[in-house]
Structure 1
């Protein structure tokens, strides 16, 4: 390893990358957020023949169907991202998401055009799902490759601040509109407003992304080889299967908790527990505001104690406190309901502050975007996006309001076992396939004194090459 191989990351450029990527992510989750918070209203607009919990099941079925195409979108955009660059693909996915979100606000109601309205809603959700397949995995890859190793956890956690900001904006707008317009006004036309608002947010994110530079890791990989072909899909799956499997389990428990707390919970409070819509949304809104500094703190501490330890702590917390938290939420006491929601939110923050830096570090540079897109979207489609639907269906089937708590406990057991036994600590270390990335030149001499630690992934690369793969090295 030579001195010139080490990347010195400009801090301002890194922060700009975080802001631009997080804003696009905020727009994506603004859309997902408003759909979740408007689930009861959307059910009445597009599925008026149903009622109560059954109507909610149909609404969340439309929500979940977008996840069917997410793996295809991830495969399509992920492979392109490894060949053409991260920046170009992220611009395309954001544009698609903006147009699809705007189109939902333009769909006539069931009362106007009948079942065609439900079909159009479904088609718009499919476009959103396809674009999202390349968006989030690309955003994680872009930030991880644009930040110095010792600050990757903290800066990458900014991506999830964008997620929370999108949810907060969505829930805040829906709460305000519900208060001002009432139930009848929301059903008549008020539900459309949040979807119209999402379009200009997407345009701002699009502008910022167009003014970003390509990631240093991708550029270094491009310069290291004059002619490069991406690994065939079959080869990627057969050679990188271990990292793909570990990533799928990580995404599994991360998404179950994420969608449970941020997507399903508003409807659980309203449709299952009987809270007023405004009251339930306001509680979630306050919890998400509190989560923002906690997520950043988790990212900050992950750079010091390791992201693996933070994740283990969150899983143990869920294992012990999921059942008490849902008992508090179902108590009817405002203070206990808030305490239960906040308890779940803190453990979710353990994952939000660490996963954006851990997941990209599982893969080598030349397959990172594509492999992460496959891992994330297949797992999210099977387990994350279906969580609201499964919870609504199981509660309707069993008439047991504690089903979500038992689900979280089982999920945490699986996650804790896999993280403890199979996840390698990557905090503060170079990404697989890349030389170290530092914030200041004065760090370089110390790195050159310990080249084996700096290139910790080298033996793994040799093993993969022997198995038939060719991960790119920036050495």
Structure 2
């Protein structure tokens, strides 16, 4: 049952982040289709701004889906979010372009992105809670790391699709109809994700809470909001800080670096890379991360989550400038080295955050607390990172701005990790101990007695 739960949550996450990843890796083509009347710099900012717009509504998705998941169950809400995401992405694939309907085209694109963001607001927090509540205490780091394995798989699929299209199609065909194919694929992928999630049973921890609260009256959502914002404001702040450093690093690598390498550097007189080379290097970094992530997750079960996250923060502060300088140097080897450095920084967070963050909240508000804190932080700092850095470079002309941004995130993340409680090997708050097997269960019962 644990394997099924982890697999379905991870596959659903593949669906969500394939959809988001496709937009990232086709950003340059989307700019040419929907923002043809803008200058190159303003077109880049508008395209990345449309990407960031989805993050503005993610907190609303978290506020809606989070308490709903604590009230009616994780499985039902996760099934709803995955199909909403697939539908909104499919809509992007059938939108008319700017030449056909003018300014209405980017406006419809924005609406579809907002729907994507709203559904994603209920996805990641619920998926974290779902896997964490199924996982045994001593293997939670390893099993929860499969959630981000799904994220990396989705991004890698998006990059692979974009690269294959560029290799197979002419520029004219790609801009005319080829860019639509990955978005249209979201429909059947979403159906698969929905099928897998509908087959899941509710987590034992939530089932216990639901049985205890059955028959209670009153506004449960309002009560949960009071618990989250009044009684658990400290965990909310810690969660927000960890999410900030995690997602600034994530979106800098996966969302902004393709634009930085293919447009920003060439426009500033540097060699940069072609879209195809950039995407192939991104795929290589993602594949290496996919290979390593579950091993690092397993390591966190042995040595703790906090040491690994502290190492990631230190790398951000010390190695961000060297990573960006390697990118500016150009050439396949230097570019890959710069991207790989960022990938290793990200690995310290995406391998440990899915098991760290659920342990900050008790079972009865876990979905809501995670979804709200996660999405507020992502909305303010993660999804806007690419747009903010692009605007800062346009304003200052300093091509090292991505490094400075990452360094600031590393400092904030270190403060948040300092105040986080180590959760490795411990039971989730509000939940009974969860054993790997019968022998461990007997050991836990014996020690309790």
Question: Which TM-score band applies after superposition, normalised by the shorter structure?
Answer: over 0.9
- 3-state SS, counterpart of residue 273 of structure 1: helix
Asked if the contact 1:53–1:271 (Cα under 8 Å) also holds between the matched residues in 2, the reply is: no
Q: CA deviation at 1:53?
A: 2.2
1:431 aligns with 2:428: yes
Match of 1:455 in 2: none
Can you list the C-alpha shifts for 1:390-426, whole angstroms capped at 9, x where unaligned?
1111111111111000111111112112212x11000
Match of 2:441 among 444, 458, 465: 444
Q: Which residue of 2 aligns with 1:76?
A: 64
Match of 2:269 in 1: none
Match of 1:320 in 2: 318
Structure 2 Cα separation of the partners of residues 399 and 183 of structure 1: 30
- Structure 2 match to 1:134: 122
**Displacement of 1:311:** 0.6
What is the Cα deviation at residue 19 of structure 1? 1.1
In the TM superposition, residue 225 of structure 1 has moved relative to its aligned partner by: 4.1
Q: Which aligned segments of 4 or more residues in structure 1 are displaced greater than 4 angstroms?
A: none
- Whether the aligned pair in 2 keeps the contact of 1:243 and 1:363 (CA below 8 Å) is yes
Cα deviation, residue 180, structure 1: 1.4
Cα RMSD between the aligned structures? 1.2
What is the alpha-carbon distance in structure 1 between the residues aligned to residue 448 and residue 41 of structure 2?
59
1:121 counterpart (109, 118, 122): 109
Alignment-derived partner of residue 259 in structure 1: 251
Other-structure match for 1:309 = 307
**Pairs within 5 Å for 1:151-162:** 151-162=139-150
**Structure 1: how far apart are the matches of 2:389 and 2:97?**
27
Residue 387 (structure 2) aligns with: 389
| TM-superposition CA deviations, 1:42-86 (whole Å, max 9, x none) | 011001011322211000111111111111111101111000000
Distance 1:434 1:235 in 2: 17
SS in 2 for 1:437: coil
Question: Within 5 Å, which residues of 2 pair with 1:163-312?
Answer: 163-228=151-216, 229=220, 231-274=223-266, 275-312=273-310
1:59 to 6, 28, 47: 47
Give the Cα separation in 2 of the matches to 1:292 and 1:235.
37
Say if 1:94 and 1:206, in contact at 8 Å, map to a contact too. Answer: yes
The structural deviation recorded for 1:224 is 3.4
Partner residue, 2:270: none
5 Å-filtered alignment, 1:69-108, equals 69-108=57-96
Q: Is the 8 A contact 2:363 2:431 kept in 1?
A: yes
**Secondary structure of the equivalent of 1:411?**
helix
> Partners of 2:394 and 2:446 in 1: how far apart?
62
TM-score of the two chains, using structure 2 as the length reference: 0.96
Pair 149,232 (structure 1): closer, same or farther in 2 beyond 3 Å: closer
Q: Offset of 1:451 from its aligned partner?
A: 3.5
CA distance in 2, matches of 1:328, 1:39: 23
Per the TM alignment, residue 449 of structure 1 is displaced from its structure 2 partner at its CA by 4.1
Contact 1:294 1:346 in 2 (8 A): no
Alignment counterpart, residue 331 of structure 2, candidates 328, 333, 349: 333
2:87 match: secondary structure: helix
2:12 is aligned to: 24
Measured in 2, the distance between the counterparts of 1:184 and 1:51 equals 20
| Alpha-carbon distance between aligned partners in 2 of 1:198 and 1:98, rounded to the nearest angstrom | 5
Q: How many residues align?
A: 439
Residue pair 2:239, 2:416 contacting (<8 A) in 1 also: no
Contact 2:19–2:86 at 8 Å: present in 1 too?
no
1:231-260 Cα distance to aligned partner (Å, 9 max, x none): 341342111111111111111111100100
Aligned equivalents of 1:86, 1:232: Cα separation in 2: 16
User: How far 1:445 sits from its partner (Å)?
Assistant: 3.2
Partner of 1:459: none
- Residues 178-231 of structure 1 deviation map (CA, whole Å, 9 limit, x = unaligned): 111132221111110010111111111110001001011101222334434453
TM-score, normalised relative to structure 1: 0.91
C-alpha distance in 2 between matches for 1:448 and 1:91: 35
